[in-house]
Amino acid sequence: MMPRANTGSGLRGTLRLDEPLARHTSWRVGGPADRYYEPADLDDLVHFLRTVPAHEPIHWIGLGSNLLVRDGGVRGTVLCVTGRLKSLTAVAENRVRAEAGVPCAQLARFCARHDLSGAEFLAGIPGTVGGALAMNAGAFGGETWGIVAAVETIDRHGQIRTRLPADYRVSYRSVVGPDQEWFVAGHFQLGTGVAADGKALIKSLLAKRGATQPTQQPNAGSVFRNPAGDHAARLIEATGLKGTCEGDACVSELHANFIINRGKATAAQIERLIAIVQERVLAAQNVKLEPEVRIIGVES
């Protein structure tokens, strides 16, 4: 059992010290967080942020996909909102509000059930709304910010704001906005659809994902961004790197832009394999692949 700290000060969430982040990442690797907090809800998160010292780093995680935590762990505080910031409601005609901890697939199904179209692609994103907003996550030709009407953010002082897409520079897998603000909810504008059609499309997209991606093995989703006019998977496969391993970290045989953990991989092995793929693709294809996954923490 990891030690639990007394949250005190009326906080209602769960605070743990030295919490192993391998438990909270889809690659199943990562060292401990100095402090790990799961807020009870948005109000509790506001209260907690006001207790964090100004100098202390803050990191946010959802389902732990698209994230590599190094083996030495993370200094400062890690906030996990999955299953905590989970409100999901229809707030106006064809508009849905989803908090940051809502899984993207859940949002897709919710929209379909309410006869709304345009969010089906979210079923193929293995993360939460917060992460999808932060990186403009996409799947099956759709991108998160293509359906964003507004967002709610919070800063480290607990101040909540509502912002519009015009407040951000959004591009492929990149979102640049006000510094030291994090997404706590998104408002999504959808089209009018038919529930049965939406559910059928989601089912089809998930079947395609299961057939083409290593969904049954620990992975973090796509490792590299697609270069303009090309696909990272094609370049990696053309370089002959499918099945290349560094310890138990291996380039997937099913989809070359995925790195899987065969069971006992370390974060260091995954990071070395990322570098190997970059070096060999650059040498063979003269293309520098840029990682899509976020790497945090310190080496052991």
What gap in Å lies between CA 127 and CA 150, rounded to an integer? 19
Q: Which of 250, 235, 229 is nearest to 284 (CA)?
A: 235
* Tokens 């509000």 found at: 97
Helix (H/G/I), strand (E/B), else coil: 162: strand
Nearest to 61, CA basis, from 36, 80, 86: 80
**Helices (DSSP H) in 175-265: which residue ranges?**
195-212, 232-238
Burial of 245 (C-beta count, 10 Å sphere; 0-12/13-18/19+): middle
CA distance 222 to 58: 25
C-alpha 244/C-alpha 137 separation (Å) is: 27
* Identified catalytic residue from 222, 246, 252, 271: 222
- Please answer whether residues 112 and 162 qualify as being in contact, where contact means their C-beta atoms are separated by less than 8 angstroms: no
Provide the phi-psi class of 14: left if phi over 0, else alpha when psi is between -120 and 50, else beta: beta
* Torsional class of 279: left (φ above 0), alpha (ψ -120 to 50), beta (otherwise): alpha
Whole-number Å distance between alpha carbons of 152 and 170:
16
Point out the catalytic residue in the list 75, 95, 156, 173: 173
Give yes or no: 222 in active site: yes
Please confirm, yes or no, whether 28 is among the known catalytic residues: no
Active site residues per annotation: 173, 222, 292
